[in-house]
Structure 1
Amino acid sequence: MLTILTRMHTKQLLTRTPRGRAHAYAPVTDDPGFAARRMRSVLEERSDRQDVLARFADELSTDDADLLRQLLDPDQ
């Protein structure tokens, strides 16, 4: 278990606070934040970001596409 926590800390998924001779671990972000980080990580690994984003947008449901438009342009 400690190895897993250490690896997650190294990947910046957990914070680590000393507690006596041990450490207390806590998530860096909540579940939506973690999912967003994963999505951003995938984009950063690709050289064809425009193609990846275009394919992602094409595969969104109508409701999700509308929500994304609202988030990108809140004045709409």
Structure 2
Amino acid sequence: MGNPLSIDALRARVGEVIGTSSWMLIEQSRIDAFAAVTLDHQFIHVDAARASSTPLGSSVAHGFLTLSLLSCAFH
């Protein structure tokens, strides 16, 4: 049996659905609360009006907030 992490083994899995979870709505209030706890008040996270003028078009969740919610995906 070959290495399951080899590039060929990974290429063979392209398009395969793995590790899915339920959708979770990340509301602005959660982003604002995370900003308050982490003291990260970058406008792209907490100022929806100003963030709407960026190429992203809206505010975005903190990377660490997204990462911290991974535990919810395993329920």
Task: Please state which band the TM-score falls in when normalised by the shorter chain.
Answer: under 0.3
Higher helix proportion (structure 1 or 2)? 1
Higher strand proportion (structure 1 or 2)? 1
TM-score, structure 2 normalization:
0.23
Larger RCO: Structure 1 or Structure 2 (Cα < 8 Å, ≥ 6 residues apart)?
Answer: 2
